[in-house]
Amino acid sequence: MTQDEMPRSRWRPSLVLDWYARIVVALRWPIVAGWLAATAAAMIYLPPLGQGGSDLGQLVSVNNPAVQSEVRSFDKFGFPLLSRVSIVQRDPNGLSPAVQAEALQRAKALSDGTLPDAGPILAAIPVTNSLQLLPGSRENGTTVITMLFTSPEVSFASQLKAAQDFAARHYDADDHVVGVTGSVPARVEQGDIVLSHLPWLEAITIAAVFIIVAFAFRSLIAPLLALAVAGVAIMLTMHVGGELAGRFGVPVPQETQPLLVALLLGVVTDYVVFYLSGMRTRLAAGEDRLEAARQAGARFTPIIATAGATAAAGTGALIVADSAAFRAFGPGMALAVLIGMLVSVTLVPALLAIVGHRALGRSGRPRDDDGQVDPEHTGGRWARLLTRPWVALPVLLLCTGGLVAAALPARHMALGVSFVEALPADHPARQAADAAEAGFSAGILSPTEVLLEGDGVAGRTEQLTRLQEALAKRPGIAAVMGPGDKLVPSDLKVFQAADGSAARYLLILADEPLGATAVQTLTRLEDELPGLLQAAQLDGVRTSVGGDTAVAQVIVDQTVSDLGRIALAALAANLLFLMLYLRALWAPLALLACSVLAIGATLGVTTWLFQDHLDADGLTFYVPFAAAVLLVALGSDYNIFGIGPAWNEARRRPLREALAMTLPQSARAIRVAAFTLAVSFGLLAIVPLRPFRELAFALAVGILIDAFVVRSILAPALLTVMEAVGGEAGMKRMRKIVHVRRPEPEPAGPGSGIGTADDPAVPVAAPPAEKAVPAQRARAADVSESASD
C-alpha cells in the first residue's frame, strides 16, 4: 500500500504526538537518568557562564568612536587626560593645608616612580578645590581627588585592588579618605554585588515558586517536581552556555546570571504548571497514571514546544543588534529558553508517569459526581458574558484606552548608562562619589575630553582660547580646562601636543556624567561643535569626543538605532510562530497588537515610577528593550496557552462559543503560571542595583498586565468583536481553516486519545458505560487542553 493509499488518519499530527508521549512514558526511567547524567557531566566538564565577565569592555565595542578618540589622544600626547579610578579625600569643615600639601607630594612621588609598592599604578594627578582653582567648584578647600592612571592592559578588578591597596598603605585617618570611586570601581563593585546576591536570589525565588505551586496544586510533590526540572535546566544552561561563550568568543556579562536564573525558574515552572493541569484533569477523569501522563504529554507538548520556540526566537532576535550589550544578552536568553523547553517536554511527562497522583495531592484523585468541578462556577458565566458582542466592544474600548493612557509617560523616556549612581546609597564607592561631587560638581569623576586634530592647531592659541570660552558658556557644562588656562604650565604639554598636530580640552559636566541629562548635553554639544569651530576661526580641524559620557552616548545612540531591527526581528519571529500554530494571519496580527499595547503600558508605568516619581536620571539603557523583547516572547506563550485551545475548538463551533467554553479552564493555569513568572522576575529587585530593580518592576508588571488584562480580557473581546464585525465569511477569511474537512477516524484503540468520545465532533461508537462518565468529565473539565487536533 502506498503512502497515498494508507488511511489519512495514520498521518494526522496527533498520531505523532501520541507515539511521542507513549515513548516518553515508556522510557521514563532512562529519560530521568539521562538528564541527571547530562547535568552532572556538564557541571564536571564544562565551564560555568560569566567567568571574567565584569569588565566594561564586554559592553563597549573597541570600535566605539569615543574609545578611538581616547586612543588617538594618548598617541598624540603620550599620556592620558582621563582617569576612571580616583581616591577621594573630604572634610566638610575644610582640609588642612598640610593634608593638601601631602596629597600633592604623594602624587608626585608616585608619578616619579619612587613608590615601588604602587603596583600597576603609573601616575597620579591630584585635584583640589582650594581657592577654587578648578572652575565650577562648589566649595573651597574641602576636597581632594587623586586621579590614578594605569596601563590599559590592567583589568578593571586589578585597577580597583591596586587603588584600594595604595590608599590603605599611604593614607591614614588624618587624611580624611572617603574611598575609592570612579566608573571602573563602580563596574567592578556591581559585578561583585550581583555574584554575592545570586545565592540569596536563587534561594528566595525557589522558596516563592515552591509556595505558589504547592498552594495551586495542594501538593508538596508538585513544586518539588517543578524545581527539579528547573534546576536541571539552570545547570545545563549555565555550563553549556559557558562552553559556547568560550568556544565562540562571545562575552557574557555577570548581570545575565540572575536574569537567566529568574527566566528559567519562571518559564520552566510555567511549562510544568500546564503539564500538571493536564495531568490533574486526566486523573480526575479516572485514568491511571501512565495513561494520564501520555494524554497530558500528547496534548501539551506541541503547545510548550511552540511556546518555547517562540520565546527563544523572540529573545534571540537581540542578536541582530549592533550593541555589544544586546548581543551578549540575546543568545544567552534564547539558549536558556530552548534548554528549558527541551528538558520540560521530556523530563516532565516522564516524572509525571513515575509519581502519578502523588504530584497533585487530593486534587489529582478521581472524583465522584458530587466532586466534579462545574465550569459554570469557575468563570463560565463571565466568559460567556465577555464573548457577547455588546459586552465585548465596550470592554475592548475600555481596555485599549486604559493601556494607551498607561503608555503615555513612555513618550518622555530617557536613557542613561549609570554605574556609580546605580550602586546602593550606602556603598563606599557611591559615598566617595557623592563626596567628590559635593566638593566640585556632578561630573568631576568622569570628565569629557574634546580632541582637536589638524596641522599646526596646537599653535593657534588665540583661536583655541576663544573656543574654550565658548565651550564654557554651553548649557550643562560646569567647567572647561584647556590651552587657555594659565594655571597649567604650557611646557607640560597637557593640552597642546608637542608636534603641534593636536589640542584637547577637559570638560566637566554639571550632571551625573553617565545619566540621561549628561548624554543629552553631549549630544547637543557635538551638534554645535562645527558652528563653534567656525566662530573661533578654527577651520580645517577635526574633532572627536572621549570619556565616559561619550562612551555612554554612543551606547545609547546605538541602542536607539537598534530598536527598529530588534523590534522587527522579535515581532516577525513571534508572528511567524503564531501563524504556523494557528494557521491564520489576521488573528495572530490582532494578538500581536495586543502584546504591543501591553508593552507600551508597561514601559509607560516603568518610566512614570523611576524617572518621574523616583527622579532617576533616565532608565538604564538596556532595560526597556530587554523587557520589551522578553514580554513579546512570553506574551506569545500565553497567546498559545490561552487562545490556542479556543482556536482548535472553533473548528467545531463559532469562535465566540469556543472562547466561552475554553477560557474558564485555561485562565486558571495561565494565572498560576503568570503569577509564578512575575514573582520570579520581580525578585530580581533583591539585587540592590538600580538596573535590576527597573528590570524586575518592568517584567513583573508587564507579565501581570499581559496575563490578567490582555490574555484574559482584551484578546477574547477583540476576537469576539472581529468575529461579529466580519460575520461568518469574515471569520473564514480570518481563520482560513474553520471548516477543514476532518478525516474519518479509525476504530478507537485503548488510550488512543483520537477518534473517541474525546472528540464529540466525530461520530464514534458509544463507549462502555463505566468509561463514559470519566471521558465526558475529561472533555468538559478541560476542553482547553485540546491543543492538537
pLDDT at 764: 34
What mean pLDDT is predicted for residues 111-120? 86
Lowest-confidence pick of 167-181, 283-297, 485-499: 485-499
- CA nearest neighbour of 696 among 635, 619, 639, 617: 619
Identify how many contiguous H helices and E strands the chain contains and give both numbers: 22, 10
Confidence class for position 784, pLDDT limits 50, 70, 90: very low
Report whether pLDDT(102) > 70: yes
Confidence class for position 379, pLDDT limits 50, 70, 90: low
CA dist., res. 170 & res. 150, Å (int): 18
CA dist., res. 483 & res. 81, Å (int): 13
Assess contact for 242 and 47: CB atoms under 8 A: yes
Assess contact for 547 and 447: CB atoms under 8 A: yes
Residue type, 699: L
pLDDT at 370: 41
CA dist., res. 434 & res. 523, Å (int): 25
User: What residue spans of 419-515 are helical by DSSP H?
Assistant: 428-439, 461-472
- CA nearest neighbour of 661 among 681, 646, 640, 642: 646
CA dist., res. 535 & res. 531, Å (int): 6
Report whether pLDDT(449) > 60: yes
Give exposure, 35-46, as e/b (b: 16+ Cβ within 10 Å): beeebeebeeeb
CA dist., res. 743 & res. 746, Å (int): 9
| Interstrand relation of 121-128 and 143-150 (parallel, antiparallel or unpaired) | antiparallel
CATH class of 447-546: alpha beta
Q: Could you give the 3-state DSSP secondary structure of residue 691?
A: helix
In 113-234, at which residue ranges do the beta strands (DSSP E only) sit?
Answer: 121-128, 143-150, 177-181
pLDDT digits (tens, 9 = 90+) for 519-541: 999 999 999 999 999 999 998 89
pLDDT at 779: 43
Cα 346 to Cα 262, 283, 341, 682: the distances in Å are 21, 20, 9, 28
CA dist., res. 516 & res. 610, Å (int): 13
| The 3-state secondary structure of 706-739, one letter per residue | HHHHHHHHHHHHHHHHHHHHHHHHHHHHHHCCCC
CA dist., res. 181 & res. 179, Å (int): 6
Report whether pLDDT(761) > 90: no
In 328-485, at which residue ranges do the beta strands (DSSP E only) sit?
Answer: 415-416, 448-453, 477-481
pLDDT at 325: 65
Residue type, 356: G
Higher pLDDT, 462 or 781: 462
- CA nearest neighbour of 705 among 574, 605, 589: 605
Residue 197 CB neighbour total at 10 angstroms: 18
Give the DSSP H/E element, type plus range, for residue 507.
strand 502-509
CA dist., res. 481 & res. 586, Å (int): 61
- CA nearest neighbour of 263 among 611, 631, 584: 631
Residue 374 CB neighbour total at 10 angstroms: 10
Give exposure, 146-159, as e/b (b: 16+ Cβ within 10 Å): bbbbbeeebbbbeb
Q: For residue 697, what are the contacts with CB-CB under 8 A and spacing of at least 6?
A: 606, 609, 610, 682, 685
Cα 733 to Cα 90, 727, 737, 738: the distances in Å are 73, 10, 9, 9
In 102-212, at which residue ranges do the beta strands (DSSP E only) sit?
Answer: 121-128, 143-150, 177-181
Confidence class for position 274, pLDDT limits 50, 70, 90: confident
Can you name the CATH fold of 85-181? Alpha-Beta Plaits (3.30.70)
- CA nearest neighbour of 168 among 158, 184, 154, 179: 179
- CA nearest neighbour of 387 among 66, 657, 123, 760: 657
pLDDT digits (tens, 9 = 90+) for 613-632: 998 999 998 899 888 888 88
Most confident region among 59-73, 300-314, 696-710, 774-788 by mean pLDDT:
696-710
Domain 447-546 in the same topology as domain 85-181: yes
Report whether pLDDT(405) > 80: yes
Higher pLDDT, 329 or 686: 686
Based on its alpha-carbon atoms, the radius of gyration of the chain, rounded to whole angstroms, reads 32
* CA 119 to chain CA mean position, Å: 38
pLDDT at 786: 38
User: What residue spans of 453-535 are helical by DSSP H?
Assistant: 461-472, 516-535
pLDDT at 52: 44
pLDDT at 131: 67
Confidence class for position 255, pLDDT limits 50, 70, 90: low
Share of the chain above pLDDT 90, in %: 43
Q: For residue 95, what are the contacts with CB-CB under 8 A and spacing of at least 6?
A: 89, 128, 130, 141, 142, 143, 144, 176
Higher pLDDT, 610 or 762: 610
Confidence class for position 468, pLDDT limits 50, 70, 90: very high
Residue 322 grid coordinates: 549592533
| The 3-state secondary structure of 587-617, one letter per residue | HHHHHHHHHHHHHHHHHHHHHHHHHHHCCCC
pLDDT at 412: 93
User: Which residues are 507's β-sheet partners?
Assistant: 448, 480
pLDDT at 734: 53
Residue type, 685: A
Higher pLDDT, 330 or 214: 214
Confidence class for position 494, pLDDT limits 50, 70, 90: confident
Confidence class for position 286, pLDDT limits 50, 70, 90: confident
CA dist., res. 116 & res. 97, Å (int): 26
Confidence class for position 775, pLDDT limits 50, 70, 90: very low
Compute the mean pLDDT over every residue in the chain, rounded to the nearest whole number.
Answer: 82
pLDDT digits (tens, 9 = 90+) for 532-590: 999 999 988 999 999 999 999 988 888 888 877 788 888 888 888 888 888 888 888 99
pLDDT at 774: 45
User: In the chain, where are the structural domains located?
Assistant: 13-45+189-365+379-416+553-735, 85-181, 447-546
CA dist., res. 241 & res. 191, Å (int): 19
pTM: 0.83
| The 3-state secondary structure of 18-70, one letter per residue | HHHHHHHHHCHHHHHHHHHHHHHHHHHHCCCCCCCCCCHHHCCCCCCHHHHHH
